[in-house]
Amino acid sequence: MIGIRADLTEQDLPEVYYSIQDYSSSNARWCPGCGDHAILTAVQKLCREKQLPPEKTVFVSGIGCSSRFPHYMKTYGFHGLHGRAFPVAEGVKFRRPDLDVFVVTGDGDCCSIGAGHWVHAVRYNMYMVALLFDNEIYGLTKKQTSPTSPKGTFSNTHPKGSVLPPLNPIQSTLGFANVSFVAQTADWHPAHLYATIKKAHEHPGFSFVRILQRCPVWMNHGFSQAVAKDNSVTLLDHANGIELDPQVRKSFKQVIQHDPSDILKAREYAELEDSLPLGLFYQNTEAERYDEYGAHNLHMPVKERLSELNGLLDRYAI
């Protein structure tokens, strides 16, 4: 335990209180100005506000700039193979439902090599938060076209400009079976970023959050208009959506009232082209969860488990 919150009285002071320092590991080595720094701060703030025990919190990642994330959290972490963060996280959650599990992935890690796992992670709807850091470029390997790179992007793999339209992670996720939570936020809106991750963590199922994230080195013009112009971002607002302070809500010049239970409207707003929509697109708290299906034998004694397993194997004995 490090530090005590100033607004706590002696009467309501908890036995253990975790501060930001309790979730901070080594200094982040992302480039100066990288949007990942803002996301790390928001996640550490969430851990503190929710008082998540570090020993019962897990961050799983694949490969990429974003996937350095577990190294900077003083919690349990698993830095896995390229595109394989979801199955690792699902394995953790399936056998340890008592843990808070977060998946940190990038536009290449999730939407290219890991796309198959992404589809089924949504379908399984296991209780975890998936944060997609989308800077629309392969940053760790020094500027190659990613699945979300805008058409015409100049890169080392497409020096004359990329030729295919980009994949839309929000629209794609909304089309997967058993989808239960889809939201979009941006690193340059810290209040909205934090509120979105908080809403995702409170959702009883698989929460998919796409974070529009700036890369100042390999994609320095990415989202520049959205940052500079008020009318380039549209807030999806609703009483059941992302909870924002009224003053923060007023900072958005374009607002659409959107009920997140309406998946057809969610798909329509995911295709907005004249501005970037931020907010909660869709939420269904009643979607089936695969981790609940697998939790029936968690407390079975080891001897009984072995007996059951041997019984099943005996069926195939010759």
pTM for this prediction: 0.90
**Mean pLDDT of all residues in the chain?**
92
pLDDT one-digit tens code per residue, 262-303:
999 999 999 998 899 999 999 999 999 999 887 766 777 888
Q: Are 58 and 76 in contact (CB under 8 A)?
A: yes
Range of the domain at 270: 20-314
Residue 187 domain flag: yes
Is 14 exposed, middle or buried (CB count within 10 Å of its CB: 0-12, 13-18, 19+)?
A: exposed
**Structural tokens at position 138:** 């392969």
Helix (H, G, I), strand (E, B) or coil at 140: coil
Residue 15 domain flag: no
CATH for 256:
3.40.50.970
**Structural tokens at position 304:** 């009984």
Residue 292 domain flag: yes
Cα 33 from chain centre? 20
Residue 222 domain flag: yes
pLDDT one-digit tens code per residue, 25-64:
989 999 999 999 999 999 999 999 999 999 999 999 999 9
- CA count, 13 A, side-chain hemisphere, 306: 3
Domain count, the chain: 1
Match 């698993």 to its residue by tokens.
78
